[in-house]
Chains A and B, each alone.
Chain A
Amino acid sequence: MTLQWGYKRAFGRCALLFVAGTALQMIFGDLNNEFLRYPWGLIIALNYLYLLVLIHFQKHRWKWLGQLADHYACTSALASMVVMTIIFGLTRQDPASEGIVGMLGFSRMTSSWAFNLLLLYFTTTTGLAVMEDLQHIRKRRVAAVLSHAAVFVVLVAGIFGSGDKLRVSVTLQKGQPSHWGISREGEQVDLPFVLTLDEFRMEEYAPKLYVLDAMTEQSSRDFLSVEQAGDEATIDGWHLTAVENLDMAGHMPDSDEYRAMEHVGAAPAVYVRARNFRTGVEREGWVSCGSFVFEPSYLFLDDRLAVAMPRREAKHYLSRLQVVEEDGAHHNFDIEVNHPARVGAWRIYQMGYDTQRGRWSEVSVVECVRDGWYSAVHIALWTMLVAGVVMFLTAGGRKVAIKQGKEAKQ
C-alpha cells in the first residue's frame, strides 16, 4: 500500500507537533496549567473558538487552512491520539520518574507538551468537523453530529477548564467546625463555608471466618460468613459451626470469654466449634477481629492452623454534616460514597474515615470539589449518551462507499 500525499502531509504535521512538544518539554519542563485559571481559561477558550470559526470560513481561501479540516487531518489526529494513549498506558505515571521517560514527559502525560499539543490538534480537527456539521446539518447523520459536538465540548472543557478545578481535602473531627482544607498541591485553601461533622455512621458486612496457616501466612480460599448463630461451613478439612454470634462484644482483661457489650470499641466475636473430618479432633473457642480497644482472638486448631476473622468490610458509611455558608445559609446533608452534597459551585464527597477505629470513627475525610465547567461537560456527556443510543439504533443497513478524489477531502 502506498501512502497518499495527503496522509504523508498530515502525519508529518503530527510528527512535527510531537517533536516540537518534546523540544518544549526538554527546555521548559512540564506544562503548568495554572495560566488557565479563571478568567484566563475562559478568555483563551473563547479566542480559540473564534479562531476555529475563522479557520472554518477562510479554509476555502487558504489551502493550508483547509488541510486542517480534511479527512487526512482527521485520520492523522485520531491515529496520533491512539499512539499517545498507548504510550500513556505503557508508561507508569509517576511524577517523580526520571531518566529518558521522565525527560520526555511520558511519565506525566497530562502535563506533557507533546501529548497536549497533539490533543489540541485533535480538538481542532474535531471542532472544524463540528462547524462543517453545523453548516451542512441536513446532509449529516444525527449520531455523527451529536458525537462530534459532545466530544468537542468535553475536550474544550477538559483542556481550558483544567486550571479551574479545585479539590480540597478536609479532615473533620466530630463536633469541630472547619472552614479550610488541603488542596491536591498541598496548599491550605479557605472554603466559602464552614463544615461540621455531627455524626459518622457505618454499616459493616457480616464477619467472615477463614482458616489461617500460621507458617505460610496464607488464609483459606473458602470462608464462613457468619450471619447468625448456627451458620456452618467446611473449610480445608475442618467443619466450622458458629455457635454464638455477637455483633458488639468485649472481654475482661483477665478472661478470654467474650460477652455482649454495647460500648465504644466493642468488637464482633463468634464462638466457633471446629471438627476435623479426618482425625475427629474438636476445638472450640472465641474468634474476633478485635478493635482499637481489643486485640484479635484466634482459635488454634493445631500447630499451624487457626481460625481467624479479618476486619469486617464496610457496607455503607455516612457523614451527617452541617454546612453554613458565608451569607449565613444553613444546610444539613447526609453524604456517602456515590452521594455527594452540593453547595453552590462546590460538591462535597465522602472520601474516608479513621480506619483504625472503623465503625467507631469520630473522624470523616471529605473532599470539596469546585468545577466551574461541570455543567458543560455534564450536558455534553448526556448528549454523547444519546448519540450512542442513536448510533446503535441506526447502525444496520448502511453501506460505506470508498470516496474518491475531491469527495474524499471533505
Chain B
Amino acid sequence: MTWDQLIWYAAIAVMCWVAGAVLAFRSSRRWTAVVASLAGSAVFMAFIIGMWIALERPPMRTMGETRLWYSFFLSIAGIAVYVRWRYKWILSFSTLMSVVFICVNLLKPEIHSKSLMPALQSVWFVPHVIVYMFAYAMMGAVTIFALYLWLKKYDATDEELSACDNLVRIGWAFLTLGMIMGALWAKEAWGDFWTWDPKETWAAATWLSYLLYLHIRGHVKDQNTLFALLIFSFLLLQMCWYGINYLPSAQGASIHVY
C-alpha cells in the first residue's frame, strides 16, 4: 500500500458515504443508509490498515496521517449520531467534512517514511492518538450540530440541546482520556507529566473550554452563549491540533512536532 493509492480508496469510500447520506433522506429504511456509510468507513479503514502494514508502524506520526484517522472517525461519529438520534442531515455533514480532510491530504501529501523516533515507540502512542482523533471528530460533529441549531429560525428544543450535551460529554470524555494518556506517556518518556509545551497549553485551553460549557449548561438559558462557546471551543481545538504549527509563539518551542 502506498500513499498514491489513497485517491482510489477515498473515491470508493466517499461514494459509499454519499450514498448513505442520500439514503438517509430518500429511503424509509434507516439501515440502508447505515450499511452504505459503514461500507465507506470500512473501505477507508482498509487503506489505513494497509498503510499501517506497509509502513511497519502505526500511521499516526505526521499531520497527514492524523487527518486519515480524522476522516475515518468523522464518518463513524456521523453514523453513531444518525443511529442514536436519527438526524438525517448529519451523514451529509460528516461526509462533507471527511471529504474536506481527504482533499487536504490529496493536495498536500506528506512524506510517510517508516521511521518512528524512539520517543514515539510507546504503548501509549496508538491509544493516545486514536482517542484524541475520535474526540476531535465528536467535537467536529457537535460544532456542525451547534451551527445548525444556531442558524435555525426557531429556538433549539430540549431534545436537540440534550443531543448536543451528550455529544460534548462523549467528546470531552475522550479529550480527557487522550490528555491523561499523554501525561502518563510524558512521564515515562521525559520525566514530567506536564510541561506546558505549546501543544499541551492549547490542549488544556480546549479541555477547560468544553468543561466550562458542561458547567454552565445547566445555568445559562441563553442559547446564543452556549452555541458561541461551543464554536469558540472548537476553534481552540483547531489551534491545538494544527494551529500551533503556524503560531509565532509556538515556533521551535514544541516537542510535539514530528
Contact = CB atoms under 8 A, between A and B. Distances in A.
A77 to B, nearest CB: 10
B193 A384 contact: no
Contacts of A402: 218-221
B196 A78 contact: no
Contacts of B250: 89, 92
Given A336-B118, A389-B173, A392-B174, A82 B158 contact: no
A40 interface: no
B91 interface: no
Interface stretch (B42-50, B68-76, B202-210): B202-210
A31 interface: no
Interface in A318-373: 336-340, 347, 349, 367, 369, 371
Nearest to A368: B191
Contact of B201 (A1, A89, A158): A89
Nearest to B196: A110
Given A78-B211, A403-B219, A86 B236 contact: yes
A397 interface: yes
B121 A387 contact: no
23 contacts: A75-B215, A82-B208, A85-B204, A86-B205, A89-B239, A89-B249, A93-B196, A205-B115, A223-B113, A314-B118, A337-B121, A338-B121, A371-B191, A382-B180, A382-B184, A385-B176, A389-B173, A389-B177, A392-B177, A396-B84, A398-B166, A399-B158, A402-B221
A388 B173 contact: yes
A158 B194 contact: yes
A85 B180 contact: no
B208 to A, nearest CB: 5
A29 B225 CA distance: 37
A27 interface: no
A56 interface: no
A280 to B, nearest CB: 26
What range describes how many residues of A lie at the interface? 35 or more
Contacts of B196: 88, 93, 109-110
A128 interface: no
B121 A89 contact: no
A378 B188 CA distance: 11
A89 B202 contact: yes
B189 interface: yes
Given A79-B212, A82-B205, A391-B176, A313 B117 contact: yes
A78 B207 CA distance: 10
B1 interface: no
Contacts of A78: 208, 211-212, 215
A218 to B, nearest CB: 13
A401 interface: yes
Nearest to A385: B180
- Per DSSP, are chain A's interface residues mostly helix, strand or loop, or mixed? mixed
Given A74-B215, A81-B208, A400-B165, A92 B248 contact: yes
A92 B253 contact: yes
B170 interface: yes
A313 B117 CA distance: 8
Given A81-B208, A388-B176, A388-B177, A381 B198 contact: no
B119 A338 contact: yes
Interface string B150-171: 0000000010011001100110
B230 interface: no
Contacts of B236: 86
A368 to B, nearest CB: 9
B5 interface: no
B27 interface: no
A58 B115 CA distance: 60
B233 to A, nearest CB: 9
B173 A391 contact: yes
Contact of B217 (A82, A86, A400): A400
Interface in B223-258: 224-225, 236, 239, 244, 247-250, 253
Contacts of A349: 189-191
Given A388-B180, A400-B217, 5 more contacts: A92-B250, A347-B191, A374-B187, A384-B180, A400-B218
Given A221-B111, A338-B189, A391-B172, A71 B118 contact: no
A381 B215 contact: no
B112 to A, nearest CB: 11
A408 interface: yes
A1 B191 CA distance: 47
Q: Which one of A314, A400, A401 has the highest number of Cβ atoms from chain B below 10 Å of its Cβ?
A: A400
A222 B109 CA distance: 11
A100 interface: no
Contacts of B192: 369
B183 interface: yes
Contacts of B121: 316, 337-338
B216 interface: yes
Contacts of B209: 82
A90 interface: yes
Interface string B37-74: 00000000000000000000000000000000000000
Contacts of A223: 111, 113
A1 B234 CA distance: 23
B166 A401 contact: no
Contacts of B198: 89
B118 A316 contact: yes
A386 to B, nearest CB: 10
A397 B117 contact: no
Nearest to A154: B193
A306 B187 CA distance: 43
B219 A408 contact: yes
Q: Which 4 A-B pairs have the closest CB atoms?
A: A395-B169, A337-B118, A391-B173, A392-B173
A399 B156 CA distance: 14
A337 B187 CA distance: 11
B225 A71 contact: no
Nearest to B249: A92
